[in-house]
Structure 1
Amino acid sequence: MSLYPLKFTPILKDKIWGGSKLKTVLNKDFSPLPNAGESWEISGVEGDISVVSNGFLAGNDLEELIEIYMGDLVGDKVYENFGIEFPLLIKFIDANDVLSIQVHPDDELSKERHNAYGKTEMWYVIEADKGSELIVGFNQDISKEEYLAKLEEGKLEDILNNAPVKEGSCFFIPAGRVHAIGKGILLAEIQQTSDVTYRMYDFNRTDDAGNPRELHTELAVDAIDYSYEKKYETTYETEINKASELVRCPYFTTNILEFDQPVEKDYLELDSFVIYMCLEGDLEITYGEDSLSVAKGESVLIPAIINNLTLTPKSKTKILEIYIK
Structure 2
Amino acid sequence: MNLYPFKFKPILKPVIWGGSDICKFKHLEPQDGIGESWEVSGVKNNVSVVADGPLEGQSLDELLAGNTTRLVGKKVYDKFGKTFPLLIKFIDARDDLSIQVHPNDELSAKRHGSFGKTEMWYVVNATPDAFLYTGFAKPMNPELYVEKVKDNTFTDSLKKYSVQPGDVFFLPAGRVHAIGAGCFVAEIQQTSDITYRIYDYNRKDAQGNTRELHIDLAKDAIDYGMHDSYKTDYTPEQNRPVELVSCPYFTTSLLELNAPLSQDYSNLDSFIIYIGIEGSGHITDHKGNKVSIRQGESVLIPADTQNIDIHPQGALKLLETFIK
Band the TM-score falls in, shorter-chain normalisation = over 0.9
1:50 and 1:264 map into 2 onto residues whose CA distance is 28
State how far apart, in whole Å, the 2-side matches of 1:30 and 1:108 are: 41
Q: Specify the alignment match of 2:289 in structure 1.
A: 290
Q: Distance in 2 between matches of 1:314 and 1:6?
A: 20
Alpha-carbon contact 2:132-2:178 (below 8 Å) kept: yes
One of 221, 225, 228 as aligned partner of 2:226: 228
Q: 2:15 corresponds to which residue?
A: 15
Distance 1:292 1:217 in 2: 46
Q: Aligned equivalents of 2:12 and 2:323: distance in 1?
A: 25
Question: What is the one-letter code of the residue matched to 2:198?
Answer: M
Q: How many residues align?
A: 323
Given residue 142 of structure 1, which amino acid in structure 2 is its aligned partner?
Answer: M
Instruction: Select between 123-132 and 285-294 the one with higher mean Cα deviation.
Output: 285-294
Shift of 1:209: 2.1
CA RMSD of aligned residues (A): 1.0
- TM-superposed CA distance for 1:30, in Å, is 3.2
The gaps in structure 1 that reach 5 residues or longer are: none
| AA matched with 1:215 | L
Task: Note the alpha carbon deviations across 1:101-128, whole angstroms, 9 max, x for none.
Answer: 0000000101111011110000000001
Which digits, 9 at most, give the CA deviation of each residue in 1:186-212, with x for residues without a partner?
000000000000000000111232201
Aligned to 1:22, what secondary structure does the other structure show?
helix
Identity score, percent: 52
Structure 1 residue 148: Cα displacement: 1.3
Partner residue, 1:308: 307
Q: What's the CA shift string for 1:225-272, capped at 9, x where partnerless?
A: 111111000001121000000000000000000000100011001010
Which of 242, 251, 261 lines up with 2:240 in the alignment? 242
1:96 aligned to 2:123?
Answer: no
Q: TM-score, normalised by structure 1?
A: 0.98
Structural mapping, 1:21-40, within 5 Å = 21-27=21-27, 29-30=28-29, 33-40=31-38
1:166 equivalent in structure 2: 164
SS for the counterpart of 1:272 is: coil
Is the Cα–Cα contact under 8 Å of residues 5 and 289 in structure 2 kept in the other structure?
no
Q: What pairs up with 1:123-138 in 2 under 5 angstroms?
A: 123-138=121-136
What are structure 2's unaligned runs of at least 5 residues? none
Regions of 4+ moved over 3 Å: none
Q: Is the 8 A contact 2:254 2:319 kept in 1?
A: yes
Mean CA deviation greater in 122-131 or 77-86 = 77-86
Normalised by the size of structure 2, how large is the TM-score?
0.98
- More displaced stretch, 11-20 vs 141-150: 141-150
Q: Can you list the C-alpha shifts for 1:262-303, whole angstroms capped at 9, x where unaligned?
A: 000110010100000000001111123331111210000000
Q: Any idea what SS the aligned residue of 1:316 has?
A: strand
Aligned AA for 2:211? Answer: R
- Looking at structure 2, the residues matched to 289 and 221 of structure 1 have their Cα atoms a distance apart, in angstroms, of 52
* Offset of residue 98 of structure 1: 0.6
Matches of residues 37-186 of structure 1 in structure 2 within 5 Å?
A: 37-186=35-184
